[in-house]
């Protein structure tokens, strides 16, 4: 039986409405490690707020440097004082939370001098933090889920080589997750080539400290335009990276949940929200306010 023009129009309208209402669920990622007053890793994961935790930072490595991890006031790795972090890593993983080591950061001394150097750094990361073996594992014997690239200084070269080398260890049986925190200006000048490898599972784009692509009071357009550029260009799960407390790029929770999340959650590449950092989230309670909307 033929449909009337009215019923056909109604079906089309309902289909369009269903498309517009498609919304993908996400999780919250957080950076932990740069403030001794933010609680332990176990306490962080026991909040039930986070799906991903990045331990920050391994901020000295590459080009002949002796690698060093800096966990601020949490512990002192130089005298094996951070091996107890393994307990926290395992506790988080037992709750289904992925835990990555973040390399780089805004302060440090790191770079890669060649593809061979990238392989050397990958070998170090594998043996000291992932599924390999070493007598000097800074965080103890727990096996992290992967490596987060937060590259903000030094040379722009060979980060794609490091990504390929780390990804190669996934063939050893346990997947090595690769994540990254590029600045929102596209393409990121440090990580552009690495992200183009298609090897990154999660990309938490920093939509802050970059005026051309971050939220400003009353204006969501710059951020949303940048979000669309990232999701249309990078084949990874994309997260909206935000500061958890007032500052450049901060988005009031009510604006985020009413004007931004409903738009970006339409993308099948939507992964959730990344927050800098656990300490600031403790101060503001931001994740508690937004969690049900993420």
Strands 52-61 and 68-69: antiparallel
- What whole-number distance in Å separates Cα of residue 190 and Cα of residue 178? 16
Q: What does the radius of gyration of the chain's CA atoms come to, in whole angstroms?
A: 20
Cα–Cα distance, 131 to 205 (Å, whole number): 27
What whole-number distance in Å separates Cα of residue 134 and Cα of residue 112? 22
Closest C-alpha among 281, 175, 159, 181 to residue 241: 181
Cα 147 to the center of its chain, rounded Å: 10
Active site residue 38: no
Q: State how far the Cα of 110 lies from the Cα of 162, in Å rounded to an integer.
A: 13
Tokens coding 186: 């596209």
d(C-alpha 273, C-alpha 30), whole Å: 9
Out of 117, 150, 152, 282, pick the active-site residue: 152
> Rounded to an integer, what distance in angstroms lies between the CA atom of residue 91 and that of residue 148?
20
| N residues, the chain | 294
Q: Strand 98-105 relative to strand 146-151: parallel, antiparallel, unpaired?
A: parallel
Nearest of 67, 85, 68 to residue 141 by alpha carbon: 85
Residue 71 near residue 89 (C-beta atoms within 8 A): no
Cβ atoms of 77 and 34 closer than 8 Å: no
CA angle 147, 142, 240 (to 5 degrees): 35
Query: Could you give the residue numbers annotated as active site?
Result: 152
């Amino acid at each position: 039986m033929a449909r009337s023009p009215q019923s056909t129009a109604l079906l089309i309208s309902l289909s369009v409405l269903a498309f517009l209402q498609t919304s993908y669920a996400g999780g919250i990622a957080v950076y932990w490690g740069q403030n001794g007053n933010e609680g332990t890793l176990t306490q962080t994961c026991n909040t039930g707020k986070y799906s991903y935790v990045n331990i920050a930072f391994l901020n000295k490595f590459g080009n002949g440097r002796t690698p060093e991890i800096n966990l601020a006031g949490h512990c002192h790795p130089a005298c094996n004082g951070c091996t107890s972090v393994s307990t926290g890593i395992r506790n988080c993983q037992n709750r289904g939370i992925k835990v990555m080591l973040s390399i780089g950061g805004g302060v440090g001394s790191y770079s890669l001098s060649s593809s061979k150097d990238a392989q050397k750094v990958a070998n170090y990361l594998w043996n000291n933090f992932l599924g390999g073996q070493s007598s000097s594992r800074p965080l103890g014997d727990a096996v992290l889920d992967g490596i987060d690239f937060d590259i903000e200084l030094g040379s722009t070269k060979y980060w794609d080589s490091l990504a390929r080398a780390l990804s190669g260890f996934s063939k050893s049986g346990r997947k090595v997750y690769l994540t990254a925190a590029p600045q929102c200006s596209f393409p990121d000048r440090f990580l552009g080539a690495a992200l183009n490898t298609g090897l990154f599972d999660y990309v938490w784009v920093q939509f802050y400290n970059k005026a051309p692509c971050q939220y400003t009071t009353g204006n969501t357009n710059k951020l949303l335009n940048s979000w669309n550029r990232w999701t249309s260009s990078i084949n990874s799960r994309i997260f909206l990276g935000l500061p958890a407390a007032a500052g450049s790029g901060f988005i009031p929770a009510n604006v985020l949940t009413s004007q931004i999340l409903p738009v970006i959650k339409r993308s099948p590449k939507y992964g959730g929200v990344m927050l800098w950092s656990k300490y600031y989230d403790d101060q503001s309670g931001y994740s508690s306010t937004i969690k049900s909307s993420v």
